Amino acid sequence: MVEIAKQEDELRREFYETYLPRVNRELSIDNVLTDYSDGILNGNIIEFKEHISDLNNVLFQALKYLSARRIKGKPIPANILLISLTSKKAWLYHSADYLNVIETPFVGGASKGNGGFVIKDYDRLFEYDNPLDENALIETMRSDVYTRIHLDENCIVGWATHYYELNPSARKADFIGDNTGKTRIIGEIRKPTAFARYIYPYTSETNERFRYLMDKLNDFMQKKDLGAFYTHQLYAQKSLELVRKAIARVPEGNDYVIIDRCAGTGNLELYMTDDELRHTIVSTLEYYEYKVLMEVLGDKATIIPPTEKEDTFNMGLVRGADALSEEYVNHPIIMEKLNNPNCSIILFENPPYADTTSIEHQKEGVGKKSTGWKQSYVVKEMKKLKLGTASNDLGNAFIWSAFKYYLRQPTDSYIVYSPVKYWKVHHLINKKFEEGFAFNRRHFHTNIDACVMCAWWSNEEAESQLKINIHAYDIVNGQLKDYGNLPVEQIEYQYSQKYFDKRSDTNDTDGGIICSKDGTERLVTKTKRVKPKHNDNILGYMAVYSSGFDNPDNMSSLLVAARYDGNGFYLRRDNYLQKLPMFAASRYVTYNRKWTERGRIMKSADGYKAFNRDINNGKINTFLLRCLLFTVFEPQNHMRSFTGSDGRQYVNQLCLDTTHGETIASKALKDLEPTEEESFLLKLWKSIIKQARNTANYDSSKTYGLYQIKVELDTFVKDEMTGNTRYDYPELHGNINSLAKRVKDYYLKEIVPTLFKYKFLK
């Protein structure tokens, strides 16, 4: 099997080497091999087989690739060439003949399950060992024609992404604008220009068909500022249970109103009855969401603004609908309800999620820059209260303002979707918790498994409410899956408040080097938030910050010298051991990827009294040594040995390479009576270091930890053709992998329970 595959690869390479120079000499094989197909060459998709025995099957495989290309928003070549390499035959088909197949989404690999498909006659057969046919085949491969496809909900996001990549400054109107309402910008989908050769104009008058995707169709600017992550319908339906309970407790004689200031296209309102909708006020900031909202709820609910005016469209936003503006806070439609003592207020919202330090934002590469909303009235008012980092989060501005401006009576309610941090860490509100759910963030148009809380808060001050329970539901195969009750506990202290080593030592000298996160010396840096120090008692630097686990690798570092952007402390020989549980805890979500953990479990120093007491009475020595063993084998321990630009030797002391004598870790671990599992890990390490010494890059003057072996000695090459990685030292590589697997099990079994016990994880 392997031999055959190799043969096919070689023949395919030979084919390209022969014909690419005749088709377009600027193209390399790499340019042609895309999307896991055998090649897209101008307006041709090419599928090779060493020998084609079933044309139907191979054609279907090509059609599946084309189907995937449409979904990704990539042009569909007009020609399909199926090439039998040994018999030198190429069959030509036209993709237009199979548009219905291409416009069907397929699940699973393209090369699987292709049998039983009936095809039309091929357009032409080239027997390319004959010169006439060979020439015609070259001509065909030069052709640059595409089959136009129809836009639907399966592919619109792909084409939008493609469009914004081509036109980074384009706005959503430029892409999906329509000819309805007061602002009639006809977008690309209705009058294709950039994609004129690739797509048919979208002929529906409105964008209602894309209502569940409106967040994903936002342009780059809006993605930064609107924090739109839509709620799955099943979650919307479930959370309505809380709304109904809130309605049920509306006092006798009171009317009620449900307000959703950030309704998007109305997902939360989807399952409301007409009567509930009559009691509902919705609005949203983004213009095309507003239009859909009008279309789906216009005749059922109250909408702000009630109708579109000439000036409603305001650079892609809706004038008068910014929930964080002063104008909105005082909006007469809302004020009318608030000023009525016989009206109960129920806010029901999934506020925009734009924590500027969150992973989504870091991924967009915009960091803290996307701060339009930070200048808003509500955020400015909130900042006056000096709430610290809580004001970095757009969602928090909605939550804070809900209680500040809208809820007035004890039976008023707020049902809100948001990660638990605002209550758990920020202590943004202290209201009575009635009931709540844990939902998986993955079903809010992200691909992150994490916990989002949907909580029903009563407008009453809470007394000693340090722990709440929420009922967890994932969505599996289109149904809610019950995960039982999960506790959420409030956090009082951060690590930095109780555990960071803030001592200075009279022998500390200024100077020395700083490190990048990968453990190497950082020579040039714009951000230098730490003053390098030197002292023989310093063995490294630990940065563990942020209570949550967004971006966990960024927020936990162990380095031989200070991290360039600080956020940590120097590890010193006399007490480094008792600092290691912080590092161990900071790896929690890496080894426990369950959606129920991330976003719910966080780092805390709340157990500091018990921890310090047990340190003093020596009760947890074994646990500390276990944390040390874990640390030496944990690849996020980026301590490396090298000669610094200051001429000093920086030696990784938290590793077990004793080539040059004992390290601090190897000495300390002599006190650990190893269990069977620990002996196994140590034995595996011995093989690894032995194998490492025989690698080409090994430098006998260095002391190697696992990470340094991984990144400097366990070398590999990538096969250009197959994309496969071939390791130069498979035995070493295999042992490193086995160690990682065993370390994970060891961590979960031996370390995690004690981290919870002392509330390093809470």
- Which residues are at the interface with ligand SAM (CB under 6 A)? 226-231, 261-264, 267-268, 284-286, 289, 321-324, 350, 352-353, 373
> What phi and psi, each to the nearest 5 degrees, are found at residue 361?
-70, -40
Backbone angles phi, psi at 464, to 5 degrees: 30, 60
Q: Give the number of other Cβ atoms within 10 Å of residue 208's Cβ.
A: 14
Amino acid residing at 537: N
Q: From the CB of 455, what's the least distance to ligand SAM, in Å? A: 15
Write down the least CB distance from residue 16 to ligand SAM, Å. 47
Q: How far apart are CA 748 and CA 589, in angstroms?
A: 11
| Sign, CA torsion 462/465/469/475 | positive
Token reading at 174? 């430029």
Q: Which residue has the tokens 């030979």?
A: 14
Residues 456 and 413 sit within 8 Å (Cβ to Cβ): yes
Q: Which is nearer to ligand SAM, 189 or 317 (CB)?
A: 317
Q: Which residues of 607-641 are buried (b: 16+ CB within 10 A; e: fewer)?
A: bbeebeebbeeeebeebbbbbbbbbbbbbbbbbbb
* Nearer to ligand SAM among residue 372 and residue 410 (C-beta): 372
What CA–CA distances, in Å, run from 43 to 9, 22, 46? 22, 15, 10
User: Nearer to ligand SAM by C-beta: 68 or 324?
Assistant: 324
Q: Quick one: 237 or 578, whose CB is closer to ligand SAM?
A: 237
> Does residue 466 contact residue 490 with C-beta atoms inside 8 Å?
yes
The residue to which tokens 């070398």 are assigned: 715
Minimum Å distance from CB 311 to ligand SAM?
18
Closer to ligand SAM by CB, 270 or 462: give it. 270
| Min separation Cβ 53 and ligand SAM, Å | 50
What's the residue count for the chain? 762
Q: Which is nearer to ligand SAM, 322 or 750 (CB)?
A: 322
Nearest-CB residue for ligand SAM: 264
Smallest distance from ligand SAM to CB 105, Å: 23
Return the exposure string of 147-157: e unless at least 16 CB atoms fall within 10 Å of the residue's CB, then b: bbbebeeebbb
- What's the rounded Cα separation, in Å, for the pair 134 and 567? 65
Two structure tokens written together for 247: 């309605």
Beta strand residue intervals within 143-263, DSSP E: 146-147, 255-260
CB of 226 to ligand SAM, least distance (A): 4
We find the least distance from the C-beta atom of residue 694 to ligand SAM, in angstroms, to be 54
CB of 530 to ligand SAM, least distance (A): 36
Beta partners for residue 694, in sequence order: none
Provide the strand spans (E) within 574-715. 642-643, 649-650
Q: Among residues 156 and 263, whose Cβ is nearest to ligand SAM?
A: 263
470: its two tokens: 């929420």
SS3 489: strand
Angle at 425 between CA 455 and CA 326, to 5 degrees: 70
- Which of 268/468 has CB closer to ligand SAM? 268
Q: How far is the CB of 599 from ligand SAM (least distance, A)?
A: 15
User: E-assigned strands of 323-377?
Assistant: 343-349
- In single-letter form, the type of residue at position 275 comes to D
Decide whether 452 or 689 has the Cβ nearer to ligand SAM: 452
Nearer to ligand SAM, 353 or 611 (CB): 353
Residue number, 284 or 557, with CB nearest to ligand SAM: 284
CB of 221 to ligand SAM, least distance (A): 12
- What is the spatial distance between Cα 84 and Cα 53, in angstroms, rounded to a whole number? 9
> Distance between CA atoms of 279 and 693, rounded to whole angstroms?
74
Q: In angstroms, give the least distance from the CB of 400 to ligand SAM.
A: 13
Question: d(Cα 644, Cα 737) in Å, to the nearest integer?
Answer: 30
Given the complex with ligand SAM, which of 322 and 714 has the nearer CB atom? 322
Compute the half-sphere exposure of residue 625: CA atoms within 13 Å on the CB side of its CA: 16
CB of 159 to ligand SAM, least distance (A): 21
Tell the smallest beta-carbon distance from residue 90 to ligand SAM (Å).
Answer: 49
Look at the alpha carbons of 124, 127, 133, 137 in this order and tell me if their dihedral is positive or negative: positive
> Which of 653, 454, 463, 628 has its CA nearest to residue 539?
653
d(CA 232, CA 441) in angstroms, rounded, equals 10
| Minimum separation from the CB atom of position 209 to ligand SAM (A) | 16
